[in-house]
Structure 1
């Protein structure tokens, strides 16, 4: 038997989801701002309490909107940050699985190759890929199977953001460790960066290669 308190919590969740579903870009942007401000750093149990055991329903809406709009940079940074709250939630591995089920890795990698998107959006994409890689070897393998090393190496070589390049270096270093199936692929990707025209990218690639030896 559902208590009156639980019924009220479920009602509020349904109202929130209906508001999102019926909202235009500006309203959704405000919703994302509030979500980021209120939920950054929360664990999976805390998010489930916040969403009356229905956090996955909101994550599904975020990922669906990402899939439809990432090429147009519609609130992209806020959207990626919001998804990151789920992917970084302690004990929240199921959120990562749900994100991957909609092709999340491929979307994040494609963002890196879209020239018209902002560097800060691409950096946020790299951060999400790092969260996925941190979840374990099979997730590192998935990134590599999705031609992630090539995409990351190219972004490292062409990015204008020192911060983004450092984030990519950390991710490539992560993909090169505890990932024997694709370690050689990471090595070759870093070697390829050495021939680019960006001195900082060359330095970071060389630094990572030394660590991998």
Structure 2
């Protein structure tokens, strides 16, 4: 037999549940306000005591109403906060199972993709997904199996709230830890976010990639192009995170491709620069740099990144020299009448690049300013010359012919 006290508690519970069942939207909103205020931070045993061992009866009503009304956004923020009290309570495994059994994960992910739902409600949905993910590996796998990585990544790119975006980052960071089955999926999702239009999303993705990279161990081939393109951003905080990631990536198998990519950014495209010159010449009173601004930002950021890498590791400086940065510049200065002075300048640059501008003579400066050599093509040809032992240090005549060939070629193409 139950005691009088227990009978009174059961009676209160039944009365509360009946009040909820008969209430309209406004009344239910007030009930949720009171529930959130009085039960925030309680453990599962405390919630059971509050509801006379019938807390699950109220939870099932909350989840049912969520499934029915989540597309309309009715009291959605309060509803999610109330469910969060159950799921985040200590010893709440039973509540978590009950929520997942009714398709709770899919509902939360669908909320992120709805346009009419407020940012605050979506943030509460992300927080619930965090609670679920932090409950163990099988729950992380459940989120990923429900296309959670794609849904959260798309939401991160589209969200207009930085606070909400930071909550999404916490979720993605949780999904990449302790989730070996799907950690590569999260890693690829973060890379896919880099070209998005949101600077905050780019910044957070780069930060999370730095955390994920040691966990993954290997790199995805597309990461190099994506990170290099991010260097064209006008947002310094994004550029900083990109350079920090580049510093990490040089320790992996994409090192050579990354260094080549940085060097390539130092040499603006002839096609792009010629377009820019035409605009300036046509209308000198108006600055027409906007279309080409990302290219120049990339160029400056690449130079900055190379400077950071060289200061951190002298071996990178040697690799960059082997990539023929020095000899590429000398090819641009090529002239049959001054080959000896050019080689001397080349040696000066290799020994002390920072002082080059103080040591070149007026002839070399004029040649460098007026030369029309296509440096990119010259670099490729010099590479083949080097492989045949005909580089400028071995055979002057071969190198002179090589440079003269590209000078003539370039002049003819422009004519």
Give TM-score scaled by structure 1 length.
Answer: 0.99
Deviation of residue 199 (structure 1)?
1.0
Q: Distance in 2 between matches of 1:10 and 1:174?
A: 40
Q: Which has the higher contact order (CA 8 A, sep 6+)?
A: 1
What's 1:183 paired with? 183
What's 1:44 paired with? 44
What's 2:78 paired with? 78
1:29 equivalent to 2:42? Answer no
Deviation of residue 49 (structure 1)?
0.1
Q: Distance in 1 between matches of 2:63 and 2:72?
A: 15
What's 1:11 paired with? 11
Q: Distance in 1 between matches of 2:92 and 2:200?
A: 35
What's 1:116 paired with? 116
If you compute each CA radius of gyration, which structure gives the higher value, 1 or 2?
2
Deviation of residue 25 (structure 1)?
0.2
What's 1:144 paired with? 144
What's 1:172 paired with? 172
Deviation of residue 85 (structure 1)?
0.2
1:156 equivalent to 2:163? Answer no
Q: What whole-Å deviation, never above 9, does each CA across 1:63-120 have from its counterpart, x for those lacking one?
A: 0000000000110000000000000000111111100000000000000000111111
1:2 equivalent to 2:5? Answer no
Deviation of residue 133 (structure 1)?
0.6
Gaps of 5+ in 1: none
What's 2:205 paired with? 205
Structure 1: which 4+ aligned runs deviate by more than 4 Å?
none
Let me know the Cα RMSD of the aligned residues.
0.4
Give TM-score scaled by structure 2 length.
Answer: 0.51
Gaps of 5+ in 2: 214-415
Q: Distance in 2 between matches of 1:34 and 1:197?
A: 41
